[in-house]
């Protein structure tokens, strides 16, 4: 049904079966961009029979890896700019957090083996014959992130850092030596973004931020940061399962654990009920717990993260750049965190695709939901993708022809704004997990 033109001409149109329709077009410029706009006859996500949404919170080992490696990339960008005048080649996106070992009991515990953070892949280690302090920057940035985000982790005592960064390949490093206002893509890659969030997606995102927010932690200081949320909606029935440990040092007995858990669960239910308009929510907290099993039947944590002894983490296994894992949506496979922000389309295009989808959906009347796919070709300017596909769910009575020109203008404007987006990514203005 799609792809009937191998070499489309500007203005060519086609109409497929099953209610699909599209418009092929070409953006102008030195590197033309091929565009297809396609109508989907699916209902918006909120009206589909079933929806599954997950979020791994601040203290989840996978989220820790993403956040730390992204922080290191931002720190390196700042150092490179200050000391060399430009952002040099780096990709800090091969991080691994190896779980430690702790002993814990009601009322206390001790660290027997610290967590180990392996910081890996590529960075520019020398410039003009001068050795750059890349390893020191990486380690200090990682420790600072732990100090600022995990209340009960001693960043010096409870964490060991191993830096495994090496120089990049000559061909990829050469990208950064080419004088240009826009770097070329360092990979052939694809990315996807969508807008708007469904009410369930918005609920999951806001719930984790609430549970790891300062007001909640002040009211429930016995809760750790390792929050994981899974929401399943079937029709208007919504099941929300939350995992969040209670801190061993602040829970003196099994009875105390379950009394505190009941208070936390009640608070979560009230929050969810306030966000789940039109739905019938049910909430579970720490569903593996078993009464009368002592500490073995309770989700206790010494440091607030399961990386202390139960679960290792890895870059790219956590949330997508919009903070969610929505398995009914198109999902990209790129690990975004830690990639360089000026040539690595695995980062740039994932953020850009979500931004494009939002702008099209907000600014073009008649679009209920939008999804943008971007495909790069290595060696082409990052603001000239090889192809863009825009999928839209339209209001009744609206047609692709009515929205195509306005949508196309917005997409082209977003491409022209890519240099500014790269600067913002280098400054860490866009959270990627």
- Is 50 exceeded by the pLDDT of residue 4? no
Contacts of 65 (CB under 8 A, 6+ apart): 95, 96, 97, 117, 313, 314, 315, 317, 318, 337
CATH no. of 57-175:
3.30.300.10
Q: DSSP H helical segments within 284-324, as ranges?
A: none
Q: What is the pLDDT of residue 31?
A: 61
Strand pairing class (33-39; 387-394): parallel
d(CA 260, CA 276): 24
- Is 70 exceeded by the pLDDT of residue 325? yes
d(CA 339, CA 407): 29
What are 284-319's pLDDT values in tens digits?
A: 999 999 999 999 999 999 999 999 999 999 999 999
Are the C-beta atoms of residues 284 and 241 closer than 8 Å to each other?
A: yes
Q: Give the mean pLDDT of 102-121.
A: 97
Q: Give the mean pLDDT of 384-402.
A: 96
Q: What is the pLDDT of residue 183?
A: 85
> How many residues make up the chain in this entry?
433
- Is 50 exceeded by the pLDDT of residue 138? yes
- Is 60 exceeded by the pLDDT of residue 368? yes
For domain 13-47+188-196+320-426, the CATH class is alpha beta
Structure tokens at 284: 């579970």
pLDDT category at 206 given cuts 50, 70, 90 is very high
Annotated domain spans of the chain: 13-47+188-196+320-426, 57-175, 199-306
Mean predicted lDDT score pLDDT of the chain: 91
Strand partners, 312: none
| DSSP 8-state secondary structure symbol assigned to residue 398 | -
Q: What is the pLDDT of residue 21?
A: 45
Domains 57-175 and 199-306 share a fold: yes
What are 45-67's pLDDT values in tens digits?
A: 999 999 999 999 999 999 999 99
What is the DSSP secondary-structure string of 156-204? TTSEEEEEEEE---HHHHHHTTS--SSPBPSS--EEEEEESPPHHHHHH
For domain 199-306, the CATH class is alpha beta
What is the DSSP secondary-structure string of 20-88? -EEEEEEE-SSS-EEEEEEE--SPPGGGSSEEEEEEE-TTSHHHHHHHHHHHHHHHHHHHHHHHHSSPP
Q: pLDDT exceeding 90 applies to what percent of the chain?
A: 85
């Amino acid at each position: 049904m799609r792809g009937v033109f191998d070499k489309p001409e500007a203005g060519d149109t086609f109409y497929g079966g099953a209610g699909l329709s599209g418009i092929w077009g070409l953006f102008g410029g030195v590197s033309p961009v091929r565009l297809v706009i396609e109508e989907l006859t699916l209902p918006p996500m909120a009206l589909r029979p079933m929806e599954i949404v997950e979020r791994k919170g601040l203290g989840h080992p996978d989220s820790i890896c993403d956040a730390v490696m992204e922080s290191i990339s931002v720190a390196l960008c700042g150092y490179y700019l200050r000391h060399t005048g430009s952002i040099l080649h780096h990709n800090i996106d091969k991080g691994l957090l190896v779980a430690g070992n702790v002993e814990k009991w009601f009322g206390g515990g001790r660290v027997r083996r610290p967590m180990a953070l392996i910081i890996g892949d590529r960075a520019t280690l020398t410039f003009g014959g001068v050795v750059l302090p890349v390893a020191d920057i990486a380690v200090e940035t990682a420790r600072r992130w732990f100090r600022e985000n995990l209340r009960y982790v001693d960043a010096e005592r409870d964490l060991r850092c191993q830096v495994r960064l090496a120089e990049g390949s000559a061909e990829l490093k050469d990208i950064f030596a080419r004088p240009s206002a826009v770097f070329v893509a360092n990979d052939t890659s694809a990315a996807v973004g969508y807008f708007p969030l469904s009410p369930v997606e918005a609920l999951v995102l806001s719930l984790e931020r609430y549970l790891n927010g300062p007001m909640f932690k002040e009211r429930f200081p016995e809760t750790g940061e390792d929050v994981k949320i899974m929401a399943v909606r079937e029709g208007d029935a919504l099941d929300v399962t939350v995992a969040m440990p209670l801190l061993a040092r602040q829970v003196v007995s099994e009875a105390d654990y379950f009394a505190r858990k009941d208070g936390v669960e009640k608070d979560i239910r009230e929050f969810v009920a306030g966000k789940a308009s039109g739905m019938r929510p049910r909430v579970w907290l720490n569903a593996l717990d078993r009464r009368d099993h002592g500490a073995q039947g309770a989700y206790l944590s010494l440091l607030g993260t399961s990386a202390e002894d139960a679960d290792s983490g890895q870059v790219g296994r956590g949330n997508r750049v919009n903070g969610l894992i929505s398995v009914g949506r198109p999902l990209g496979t790129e690990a975004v965190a830690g990639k360089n922000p000026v040539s690595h389309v695995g980062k740039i295009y994932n953020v850009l695709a979500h931004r494009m989808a939002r702008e099209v959906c907000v600014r073009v009347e008649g679009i209920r939901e939008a999804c943008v796919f971007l495909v790069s070709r290595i060696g082409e300017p990052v603001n000239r993708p090889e192809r863009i596909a825009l999928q839209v769910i339209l209001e009744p009575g609206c047609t692709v022809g009515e929205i195509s020109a306005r949508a196309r203008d917005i997409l082209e404007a977003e491409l022209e704004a890519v240099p500014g987006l790269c600067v913002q990514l280098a400054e860490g203005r866009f959270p990627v997990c």
